[in-house]
Structure 1
Amino acid sequence: MAKDFNNLSEGCIAIILSFISPRDVCRLSLVSSTFRSAAESDAVWDRFLPSDLHTLLSQSSSSSFPSKKHLYLHLCHNPLLIDHGKMSFQLDKVYGKKCYMLSARTLFIVWGDTPRFWRWISHPDVRFSEVAELVSVCWLEIRGWINTGKLSPETLYGAYLVFKPNPAGIYGFDYQSVEVSIGIAGGEASKRTVFLDAERGRRLRYQIVPRQAGIFNHARFLGSVETLSAQHNNNNTTSIDLKYPKERGDGWLEVELGDFFNDGEDDKEVEMGVYEIKSGDWKGGLFLQGIEIRPKTVSH
């Protein structure tokens, strides 16, 4: 088999490589010098770039690149700011699927323009010019939308709230769960319960009650445990570890809001939401960067 491939021309090998994944192209480039040369071809990497890339590049201040492979790798590791810097675009490095992040500015945030509740500030180590700082609210409601026409077809996508605790401390979320949802706008949404306090969420996962909880918080804690246990039994699932924040490679935290399959047949508006509007308790102390939408079936 290897001998048969060695008899093929570089152009023919390049055509074959364009029908496999970027990851496999990089692996096959180690087979021989002919494969390595074919794997560098623009004809190969052009197949992995989205058809609307020219439109996306026109919305940013991107520079030129020596090859399509360089452009592909750049988009995998460097989010491209689009929509006047309010949204970012990048590619998944394994399969070249589209990934987006909606900045906090693109989201609907109740009381988002009221400084006593939310502030808009710059923040280091963030891709956007500003983030939303939650000062203090008793009604938390955040919603965002994305059209499936922007995304890769035949792909399972997940949506993730990206945030970070204020160094001064996060409060109001330690024993209070948050409801998140995702679904086609106007239709039935899939809902789940998550925790935004990572440390408390982990403790809740292992059902460890803090000694200094107090009567009120202790009761709320046990109620939350019972709620999660009921959900666990009803859904017959063990994915409790998906219900609290995880640290990202960029140092921020993320929590999954849910997932949806983009069949690519019709353009649909996907709505994502984060809500804590029932308890009436005041909460605050976190920075909101946005909501990221990325494929679930490939590496991130």
Structure 2
Amino acid sequence: MDVFNELPEDCISSILSLTSPKDTISFSLVSSFLRLVAASDFVWQTLLPSDCDKIIDKSVIPLNYSSKKELFIRLCNSILIDGGNKSFAIEKSSGKKSYIISAEELSLLYGEEPDHWTWKSVPESRFSKVAELKVICKLVVKAKLRTSMLSANTNYGIYFIMKISDRAFGLSSVPVETSVEIGNRKDVHTATLDHRNGEKDLPDEKQRYERVPYKREDGWMEIELGELFNGGDEDEDEEFTVSLKEVKGFHVKGGLVIEGIEVRPKH
């Protein structure tokens, strides 16, 4: 690393701008000089999403930061945007973007009918309201999103965030179909909402294959709905549809609590 100490500062900054946040932080530990260069706004501006300014303008709470590195760290902890209906964060190791779309942004079958759904606040949710299913015969949840929201050349996993209330019934009657559809491509799987299969703290390979709920670090549970590879650049924009629905018959059920759908980089 001695050779880097002999390079001009702007040359080192240019090199770091081509690496990842993880590499930049590791590089800064080599010497006090390199730590100073690695903390520059020039370096961290290139590691932030290209549309970062537009995103933070939509933040519910104004963000205060003294450097681009501080802003990066702040965004790793997630912020609420779009009137509090979405949560945005960047991945610490790569700078890739991720979102959680609240239940209020989703399309729920009979979602506006008080006989079928209750909208309420719960202390464990990051959003002001979640949706609790009272009773329904056919469950359909959909969301329409845009690829321009996502980081380019990134494989994303899409996850349904949920809980099962103590009063739940009928949720294990039949499996549900999950899908991620973009253009003429459709990623389809079968999942179950039966919470008794998801009591483990961490998912194992069997759980992931069978698409059953498992516990998240934030206390909620999630089911993987599918994957999407966003190969275009961030200027390209294409709509994709995410869904979870019953496709066989009608079965009375209730007690499902929906926080939202998360789209995050998958490794």
Higher helix share: 1
Tell me which residue corresponds to 2:177: 179
Determine if the alignment matches structure 1 residue 259 to structure 2 residue 258: no
**1:103 CA displacement:** 0.9
TM-score by length of 1: 0.81
Do 2:157 and 2:227's aligned partners in 1 also have CA atoms closer than 8 Å?
A: yes
Aligned ranges for residues 80-229 of structure 1 at < 5 Å? 80-166=79-165, 168-184=166-182, 187-200=184-197
Do 1:81 and 1:88's aligned partners in 2 also have CA atoms closer than 8 Å?
A: yes
Rounded to whole Å, the distance in 1 between the matches of 2:249 and 2:199 is 21
Aligned ranges for residues 57-72 of structure 1 at < 5 Å? 57-60=56-59, 61-72=61-72
**1:3 CA displacement:** 2.2
Higher strand share: 2
Do 1:138 and 1:277's aligned partners in 2 also have CA atoms closer than 8 Å?
A: no
TM-score by length of 2: 0.91
Rounded to whole Å, the distance in 2 between the matches of 1:84 and 1:143 is 20
Tell me which residue corresponds to 2:217: 249
Rounded to whole Å, the distance in 2 between the matches of 1:269 and 1:30 is 42
Which structure has more RCO (C-alpha within 8 Å, separation ≥ 6)?
1
Rounded to whole Å, the distance in 2 between the matches of 1:258 and 1:202 is 21
Secondary structure of the corresponding residue to residue 136 of structure 1: coil
Percent of pairs with identical residues:
41
Do 1:175 and 1:200's aligned partners in 2 also have CA atoms closer than 8 Å?
A: no
Secondary structure of the corresponding residue to residue 84 of structure 2: coil
Amino acid at match of 2:216: R
Give the unaligned 5+ runs of structure 1.
204-237
Secondary structure of the corresponding residue to residue 127 of structure 2: coil
- Which digits, 9 at most, give the CA deviation of each residue in 1:27-56, with x for residues without a partner? 111111111111211111111112222211
Amino acid at match of 1:89: F
Indicate which of 219, 234, 238 corresponds to 1:268: 238
Rounded to whole Å, the distance in 2 between the matches of 1:139 and 1:107 is 16
Do 1:10 and 1:37's aligned partners in 2 also have CA atoms closer than 8 Å?
A: no
- Which digits, 9 at most, give the CA deviation of each residue in 1:239-280, with x for residues without a partner? 542111121111111110000111115421110000124242
- Which digits, 9 at most, give the CA deviation of each residue in 1:70-97, with x for residues without a partner? 11011111x2222222122111111111
Do 2:198 and 2:214's aligned partners in 1 also have CA atoms closer than 8 Å?
A: no
Do 1:202 and 1:244's aligned partners in 2 also have CA atoms closer than 8 Å?
A: no
Indicate the larger mover: 6-15 or 272-281. 6-15
Give the unaligned 5+ runs of structure 2.
none
Rounded to whole Å, the distance in 2 between the matches of 1:159 and 1:133 is 21
